[in-house]
Amino acid sequence: MIEILLKNKKSFKAQTVNELSVSELNFHVMQFLDHSNPDLKWLEQNYGLDFTIMKHFEDIEISSHFLENETQAAFHFSIPFFNKEKKMIEEPLFIIITQSNLFLFTSSNLDGYINEIYPNKIISLQRLSDLKDIFKFQFEFIADYFADITENLSRKIKFLANDVLIEKEFSSNVMDVITQNNFNNLLIKEALIETTRVLRLYLKSEWEQKTDLKESVRAELNDLTAISDYIQFNFDRLDDLKENVSNKIDLEQNHIFKMLTVVTVCISLPTFIAGVYGMNFEKMPELQFDFGYPFVLIGMVFSAILPIIYFKKKKWL
């Protein structure tokens, strides 16, 4: 799928590059969803794009995140999002800007999620008439996206904290929920660090001198720094929740062990008495006692009751 925003602020979609005529295209933005090798070859032949960054985006080198030459600047961002199963994953977003056009490459899953959250994104782009403003919009949008997805996760963690700390109720799988939220927070943190790294590299680039977006990019970096503080707060809150739940589990286990101890003591004493008088020795003077049987029964009852009284005074019950 190819989505194109023309310079006359109109937009249209095409299924393949075979439907496009280069001579008739006068566009600002061309976005490819689930791009294929024929798509990249077509762009390379007609617009001279260099896709080195897209071939090595999984590497940790600086060039796998930001790469520039005389004709273009290429960016790689890792964008975390929730898939249809409500599980957070991340997928790459590539931006290539030339002197006259901007190219976007992403997956249909990520694009669908973004369009669901920001249904007016295309309208905001259509209001912009200058490529520089559209390029600036991409940086602003990415920073806003990180703010929104962090806020979304912070809200979930807050609700979880309310259930665990305030309501004092939690289900048996609460530790799994905490672990999942911690993983999601870590995924956002990692992606945000890489995004910050890309923007700082861009500030030092020669391409920045052509676009002159230094002040805007610095403002977005400040926003990302503030978002990073919220992410760290999420980590701290999750650690507190994990410790609180662990303490509650320990308390419940201690209570169970106390109850087992009480039951064991209450049963063991009568069992001991029954064991003694169940011995079949010939010389046991108590066997000839007329009221031996009721006395033993009474002794067994008291031996079971006395530990209960003792443990109640110790506040185990």
Q: What is the DSSP string of 177-195?
A: HHHHHHHHHHHHHHHHHHH
Q: How far apart are CA 32 and CA 218, in angstroms?
A: 28
Which residues share a beta bridge with 72?
A: 98
Predicted local distance difference test score (pLDDT) of residue 63: 57
**Roughly what angle, to the nearest 10 degrees, separates helices 174-203 and 131-161?**
160
Predicted local distance difference test score (pLDDT) of residue 284: 73
Mean pLDDT by 10 residues, the chain (317 residues): 82 81 79 88 86 77 76 89 86 88 89 84 76 84 89 87 69 78 90 90 82 84 89 86 73 74 79 77 72 77 78 72
- 1-117 CATH, one of 3.30.10.20, 3.40.50.9100, 3.30.460.20, 3.40.50.970: 3.30.460.20
Q: How far apart are CA 135 and CA 294, in angstroms?
A: 96
Residue-range domain boundaries for the chain: 1-117, 251-313
Predicted local distance difference test score (pLDDT) of residue 251: 66
CATH architecture of 251-313: Up-down Bundle (1.20)
Predicted local distance difference test score (pLDDT) of residue 94: 92
> What is the model's pTM?
0.75
